[in-house]
Amino acid sequence: MGSIADSMPEFGYPALQGYVNRRIAFNKAAASARDRGIPCSQAPPVFPMNSHSSSRYVINNFIRTDGMELQVLAYDTRHRYQHASAFDPVMRIEKVLPDHATIMRIFNDQTPKCIGWDPGELVSAALCMIHHADNWDRQPEAQDPPLSNLLIRRSALYSPTKSARADRERLKNRSPAVQAKEAITGDLWVQEQDSTAATLRLPSISDMESALPSKEQYTVDEFEQALLVRLSMEPLLREVYSTSRFQKDRWAEKRAKRAELHMAVDAILRMCGPEPCSIAVGNGTFRTGFNLASKHECFKTHFAKKARALGHVVVLVDEFLTSTMCPSCAAHDVRSRVAKPTQRSCVCVECGRWINRDSVGAQNIALIAERWMTDQTRPLPLERPAQPSQL
């Protein structure tokens, strides 16, 4: 990588600040011309770039760090600035691929592979790819084609967070022992100590946090007493959480979460293969039941960024009846529901096929994507009923 000082003034602070100033002036002139009803005489400023540089990425002069991780900003000298609309969230398949011409243009006149993604509660992502023969004519096949299934469980995505939370709770429940007249600092709760000569045992961090009064006081005396307790304990708690041990644990948790997320994304990308394909994601939303933020949306957004960078198309599809209809029968436009004799298995009441519960929705979503790529419709058993007209 090059640096800003290596004869690259296009990406230095003066050039970028100048671009911002010119952009603000252009926006004011365009707004003034629009108010007066006349066309704007100024052209929008061009973002600074250098196409003659030998280095593609140029490091900025500014860095940021939290003591454990260093963040460096670099500019791509070969590509122009992308507007915020280039990073839109995942949208419906009807908007992204509205007609056959758009599909052929995006996929270079080739019929893409389709992968169905069914979000769930215990299984955050159940994916299915239908492998058709090379001479497939886009018509229902006599026998069920082979499938590739991939299940990404919620417990795997949450394992770094739960492990870090358990380690943090064990650390907060420690009660250090000190000698008389020994200075009390935040390091006492995070360092291993020899307590053979100790004469006094201090409360744990959890005990001190539990002793903090609530923020709801009803009288002036209760408010003053709570304020004194909080002022006496909060500096020590802040010192404990500022120790290098807690900072390292937070950094290790962040790194483990990122590694687990990348592992799941890489597994899906290996399933997609090198050729551009269409990943259809069900539009369901879920909430967790153990006091953790849902991973579905952040995992889907993170995967969409990675997949789009490799040329894949990520779209949303309607999940209507995808978990209740048999995919083998739906491929032949036969309406047949699946029974659920066990907790994780389903059986079709019409054809008798047994299928994993999480794979039912993923295969039906893949069928919806394939049918949309062919004639911009849905399989008949998975269509929503027409809404009655209101007079």
Q: What is the pLDDT of residues 75-116, one digit of tens each?
A: 776 666 555 555 567 889 999 999 989 999 888 888 888 999
CA-nearest of 322, 281, 274, 275 to 304 is 281
Distances (CA, A) of 177 to 101, 197, 207, 209: 74, 9, 15, 18
The percentage of the chain sitting over the pLDDT mark of 90, rounded to a whole number, equals 19
Distances (CA, A) of 34 to 23, 120, 303, 379: 16, 49, 40, 48
Residue type, 227: L
Inter-helix orientation angle 244-272/154-172, to 10° = 170
pLDDT score for 357: 83
pLDDT score for 212: 79
Pick from 33-42, 50-59, 207-216: least confident: 50-59
pLDDT score for 210: 84
**pLDDT confidence of 1, banded at 50, 70, 90?**
very low
**Sign of the Cα pseudo-torsion (41, 47, 53, 54, in order):** negative
Residue type, 381: P
Distances (CA, A) of 335 to 43, 182, 329, 366, 379: 58, 77, 7, 17, 10
Question: What order do you get walking across the sheet with 345-348 strand by strand?
Answer: 338-339, 345-348, 354-356
pLDDT score for 48: 67
> For residue 327, what are the contacts with CB-CB under 8 A and spacing of at least 6?
355, 360, 363, 364, 367
Q: Which regions of the chain carry the CATH code 3.30.420.140?
A: 88-160+255-382
Task: Identify whether the C-beta of residue 378 lies closer than 8 Å to the C-beta of residue 320.
Answer: no
pLDDT reading at 322 higher than 60: yes
Q: Which CATH number applies to 88-160+255-382?
A: 3.30.420.140
Region at 37 (left for phi over 0; alpha for psi -120 to 50; beta for the rest):
left
pLDDT reading at 68 higher than 80: no
pLDDT reading at 291 higher than 60: no
pLDDT score for 386: 76
Most confident stretch, 7-21, 66-80, 217-231:
217-231
Burial of 283 by CB count in 10 Å (0-12 exposed, 13-18 middle, 19+ buried)?
A: middle
Instruction: Using a cut of 0.75, tell me whether the model's pTM lies above it.
Output: no
**pLDDT confidence of 5, banded at 50, 70, 90?**
very low
Q: What is the pLDDT of residues 170-224, one digit of tens each?
A: 888 888 887 777 778 878 887 776 666 667 888 888 888 888 777 665 677 877 8
Task: In whole angstroms, give the CA distance from residue 69 to residue 102.
Answer: 43
